[in-house]
């Protein structure tokens, strides 16, 4: 496609709904073109040490509780990670230690620093509200993994800011990619306390062509919950644990990243009977006080009405 012209935030705000949709559609195609990014992957690799070192400026010190058990063939894996704040990708870069491409929401394009890092590392941008965009992102991820590149996916789709759910209901994208490529999934959990991020990796989980996607999703969900509990039972967690009130934790998380749109993000949670509606409402209420939503009226209306009923269940 022709060269994309990135607009300033002020110019984006002046676009009407149709113009904004077209702008981000072109942005996703331009910035999230994984095959194009992979062409210069070796050359870009020279910049990776700089990315790795820059991640150390983030406030969370990363402590790995175990080493990654890579598959015996040493080929690509799909890291399925939990998601709770803006430090997750930097924490994964430090803990994994090898390059990977990631699946990210198209709104990340607005963050210049993250966008540059993503383009060097490799990134597939997706509009979580668009089935066609999701399908295209899925195909690019499958292609990237088949070519031998590691990838990271956050199957919860957004930050888990609830206090009652260890893991939000997962989308099935990682399972479907694993099924299509034959490559294993490695669950990974990051748990933050104070200025420390504790990371623990699970074992490889393979998905055969005959496996039920729902059953494998349950297996991976249970593995992630188990890892989370193991971290909280660890000596390191007890050593570094810093108590914090739930409301204060939400405020701290939301203030850490100015691009986080609470209404939109909560609308991306996969619908499920276990979703604690009162907690979601509380998160939105706190978020609106911290940063009044600046999205257009149609988006606000959609999010307020449908955040519990996202229509992409199982994707």
Reported as a single tens digit per residue, the pLDDT across 151-198 is 999 999 999 999 999 999 999 999 999 999 999 999 999 999 988 999
pLDDT (0 to 100) of residue 223: 98
pLDDT (0 to 100) of residue 287: 86
Asked if residue 255 is part of any domain, the answer here is no
pLDDT (0 to 100) of residue 40: 57
- Residue-by-residue DSSP string for 56-106: GGSSPEEEESS-----TT----EEEE---STTHHHHHHHHH-S--EEEEEG
Is 203 or 279 the better-scoring residue by pLDDT? 203
Spell out the residues 6+ positions from residue 222 whose beta carbon is closer than 8 angstroms to its own: none
Average of pLDDT values for 285-306? 55
pLDDT tier for residue 243 given thresholds of 50, 70 and 90: very high
Residue with tokens 């607005």: 110
pLDDT (0 to 100) of residue 59: 62
pLDDT tier for residue 293 given thresholds of 50, 70 and 90: low
User: Tens digit of pLDDT for each residue in 43-93?
Assistant: 455 555 555 455 555 567 899 999 999 999 999 999 999 999 988 988 998
Q: How far apart are the first and last CA of the chain?
A: 28
Asked if residue 302 is part of any domain, the answer here is no
pLDDT at 115 over 90: no
Is 83 or 105 the better-scoring residue by pLDDT? 83
Asked if residue 26 is part of any domain, the answer here is no
pLDDT (0 to 100) of residue 216: 97
Chain centroid, CA 256 distance in Å:
16
pLDDT (0 to 100) of residue 94: 87
Q: What is the dihedral of CA 305, 306, 307, 313, to 10 degrees?
A: 170
Asked if residues 297 and 276 have their Cβ atoms less than 8 Å apart, the reply is no
pLDDT (0 to 100) of residue 18: 78
- Our count of domains for the chain comes to 1
- Determine the Cα–Cα distance for residues 67 and 202; give it in Å rounded to an integer: 9
pLDDT (0 to 100) of residue 199: 98
Asked if residue 181 is part of any domain, the answer here is yes
Average of pLDDT values for 213-224? 97
Asked if residue 161 is part of any domain, the answer here is yes
Domain holding 205, by residue range, is 33-243
pLDDT at 31 over 70: no
Asked if residue 25 is part of any domain, the answer here is no
- Determine the Cα–Cα distance for residues 107 and 100; give it in Å rounded to an integer: 20
Asked if residue 282 is part of any domain, the answer here is no
CATH number, position 74? 3.40.1130.10
pLDDT tier for residue 138 given thresholds of 50, 70 and 90: very high
Asked if residue 68 is part of any domain, the answer here is yes
């Amino acid at each position: 496609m022709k060269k994309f012209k990135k607009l300033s935030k002020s110019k984006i705000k002046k676009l009407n709904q149709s113009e904004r949709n077209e702008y981000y559609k072109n942005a996703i195609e331009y910035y999230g073109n994984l095959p194009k990014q992979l062409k210069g992957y070796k050359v870009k690799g020279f910049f990776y040490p700089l990315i790795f070192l820059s991640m150390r400026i983030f406030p969370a010190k990363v402590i790995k509780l175990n080493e990654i058990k890579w598959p015996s063939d040493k080929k690509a894996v799909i890291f399925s990670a939990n998601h709770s704040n803006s430090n997750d990708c930097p924490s994964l870069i430090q803990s994994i230690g090898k390059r990977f491409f990631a699946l990210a929401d198209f709104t990340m394009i607005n963050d210049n620093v993250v966008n540059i890092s993503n383009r060097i590392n490799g990134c597939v941008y997706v509009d979580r509200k668009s089935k066609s965009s999701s399908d295209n992102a899925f195909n690019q991820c499958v292609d990237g993994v088949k070519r031998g590149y590691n990838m990271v996916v956050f199957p919860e789709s957004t930050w888990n800011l609830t206090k009652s759910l260890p893991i939000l209901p997962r989308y099935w994208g990682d399972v479907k990619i694993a099924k299509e490529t034959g490559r294993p999934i490695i669950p990974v959990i990051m748990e933050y306390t104070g200025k420390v991020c504790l990371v623990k990796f699970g074992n490889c989980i393979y998905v055969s062509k005959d496996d039920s996607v729902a059953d494998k999703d349950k297996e991976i969900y249970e593995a992630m919950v188990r890892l989370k509990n193991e971290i909280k039972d660890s000596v390191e967690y007890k050593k570094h644990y810093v108590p914090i009130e739930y409301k204060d934790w939400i405020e701290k998380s939301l203030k850490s990243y100015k691009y986080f749109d609470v209404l939109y993000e909560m609308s991306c949670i996969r619908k499920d009977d276990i979703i604690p509606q009162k907690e979601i409402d509380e998160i939105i209420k706190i978020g609106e006080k911290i940063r009044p939503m600046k999205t257009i009226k149609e988006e606000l209306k959609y999010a307020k009405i449908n955040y519990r009923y996202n229509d992409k269940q199982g994707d």
